[in-house]
């Protein structure tokens, strides 16, 4: 898989790219090694460097970045399980592979936006825009990847987002407690 082509496809033509993603077999290790970890890592590194440039550099910042990275990886698996469990309630099948694809590819814009945090002060605009666009990617990908009926996608997406926000708050709390 070409990481640049995949990210570009999701950002510029998400309907087409989600159809490609839905049809391809899932290789969990390859997905994480060649796509999720590099993009998530770029986002984490952008935040680390940007914060350091604004005078916030410390050993605790490095530690929290590493722990946050690891917890974010785990968060993708948790999000996939949430998607898998909620899908049947909205007319979709129980499909762990599809749930993992949706959870792993939807945050693409957020990770790219997070990498822009390397630019002090204005990087937050890109990070916020990326986060919002990732919500859109999740919404657009849901009917194709999870096979949720279109009339039930909004309820499904909102349910998953609410649960995902709670999960991310818990991840943030764990990082804050540790550092």
Per-position b or e across 97-120, b if 16+ CB within 10 A of its CB: ebbbbbbbbbbbbbbbbbbbbbee
CB atoms within 10 A of CB 164: 20
- Tell the residue number behind the tokens 């090694």, with chain if given: 33
In whole angstroms, give the CA distance from residue 40 to residue 33. Answer: 11
Query: Residue 131 gets which letter from DSSP?
Result: H
Q: pLDDT tens digits for 109-159?
A: 999 999 999 998 889 999 999 999 999 999 999 999 999 999 999 999 999
Q: pLDDT tens digits for 97-115?
A: 999 999 999 999 999 999 9
């Amino acid at each position: 898989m070409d990481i640049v082509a995949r990210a570009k496809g999701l950002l510029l033509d998400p309907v087409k790219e989600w159809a490609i993603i839905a049809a391809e077999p899932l290789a969990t290790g390859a997905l994480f090694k060649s796509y999720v970890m590099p993009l998530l890592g770029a986002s984490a590194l952008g935040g680390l460097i940007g914060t350091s440039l604004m005078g916030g550099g410390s050993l605790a910042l490095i530690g929290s970045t590493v722990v946050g990275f690891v917890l974010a990886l785990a968060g993708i698996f948790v999000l996939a399980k949430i998607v898998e469990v909620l899908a049947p309630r909205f007319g979709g099948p129980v499909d762990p592979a599809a749930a993992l694809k949706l959870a792993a590819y939807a945050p693409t814009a957020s990770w790219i936006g997070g990498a822009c945090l390397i630019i002090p002060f204005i990087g937050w605009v890109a990070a916020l825009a990326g986060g919002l666009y990732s919500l859109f990617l999740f919404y657009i990908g849901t009917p194709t990847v999870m096979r949720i009926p279109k009339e039930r996608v909004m309820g499904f997406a909102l349910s998953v987002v609410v649960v995902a926000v709670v999960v991310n708050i818990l991840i943030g709390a764990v990082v804050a407690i540790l550092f």
